[in-house]
Amino acid sequence: MASVSTCLWFERDAEAAVRTYVSLVPGSQLGPILRAPGPWPGGEPGAAILVSFTLGGQSFQALNGGTRAEYGTAASIAVACPDQAAVDHLWDGLLAGGGTAIQCGWLRDRWGVPWQIFAEILPRLLADPDPGVAARVFSAMQGMVRIDAAALERAAAG
């Protein structure tokens, strides 16, 4: 069976980014770091070339490519948090140092990587069999930047 992981491209900060990510997302860990044996276009000898890691049990790699990559919005790292405290912790940690909040639980961290941070209750309420509940929750979510679980519950209640 093939091994599959997502690879994120960084200019030179792959190791710092990964250390931040694994410190914020429960169930994460740093894996092997491949270091340059000599000078290379992305850095000096000893600099990280490829950093393996897991986020919440999912396999990732971070590559120092030597040039800045621009991430689009077609892909993101989505994290379903168990409660508002977890949403707030991850949201604040990913925005620290220059990240940008977007809308509806989306943000870009300081390295430009797009994330979706939301409470587990959001997809559950959006899938409610009562179309009125789903519509109210969807409308409430559209007005949010950071997802607010309590406000979603109030919207669901009507």
pLDDT digits (tens, 9 = 90+) for 4-36: 999 999 999 999 999 999 999 999 999 999 999
Task: Tell me the per-residue pLDDT of 70-80, one tens digit each, with 9 for 90 and over.
Answer: 999 899 999 99
Read off the tokens for 34: 């491949």
pLDDT band of 93, cuts 50, 70, 90: very high
State residue 94 phi and psi, 5-degree precision: -75, -30
Task: Tell me the per-residue pLDDT of 53-68, one tens digit each, with 9 for 90 and over.
Answer: 999 999 999 999 988 8
pLDDT of residue 43: 80
CB 117 within 8 A of CB 85: no
Angle separating helix axes 149-157 and 131-142, nearest 10 degrees: 140
